[in-house]
């Protein structure tokens, strides 16, 4: 294949970008879901420390 470097770089970039974005979204989703479940627990009256359970900004 000629221009192999460009072709490999292009396909690698595409795969890396899409996998990274998917990973990032799923991770944020996990963080948000966790924060929300902690919230529900603390709102049930077990603790009052919901501010400490807020998700990282």
Partner 1 sequence: MIVTSKSGLANVIGIAALALFLVGSFVGLFVVPADGMQGDIQRLMYVHVPAAWLAFLSFFVVFLMSVLYLIQRDLRWDRVAQSSAEIGVVFTVLTLALGSMWGKPTWGVWWTWDPRLTTTAIMLAIYVGYLAIRSFADDPDKRARWAAIVGIIGFANVPIVYLSVIWWRTLHQPPSSPRSVSPEILWTLMFNLAAFSVIYVYLMMRRIRLAKLEGELEQRMAYHG
CB of 26 to partner 1, least distance (A): 6
CB of 52 to partner 1, least distance (A): 12
Tokens matching residue 53 = 């359970």
The nearer residue to partner 1, 28 or 46, going by C-beta atoms, is 28
Residue 43 CA to chain centroid, in angstroms?
Answer: 25
Nearest to 38 by CA among 24, 28, 52: 52
CA 1/CA 7 separation, integer angstroms: 9
Enumerate binding residues for partner 1 (CB under 8 A). Answer: 1-4, 6-7, 9-11, 13-15, 17-18, 21-22, 25-26, 28-30, 32-37, 39, 43, 50-51, 54-55
């Amino acid at each position: 294949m000629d221009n192999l470097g460009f072709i490999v770089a292009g396909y690698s970039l595409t795969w890396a970008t899409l996998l990274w974005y998917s990973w990032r979204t799923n991770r944020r989703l996990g963080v948000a879901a966790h924060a929300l479940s902690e919230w529900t627990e603390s709102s049930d009256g077990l603790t009052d420390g919901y501010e400490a359970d807020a998700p990282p900004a």
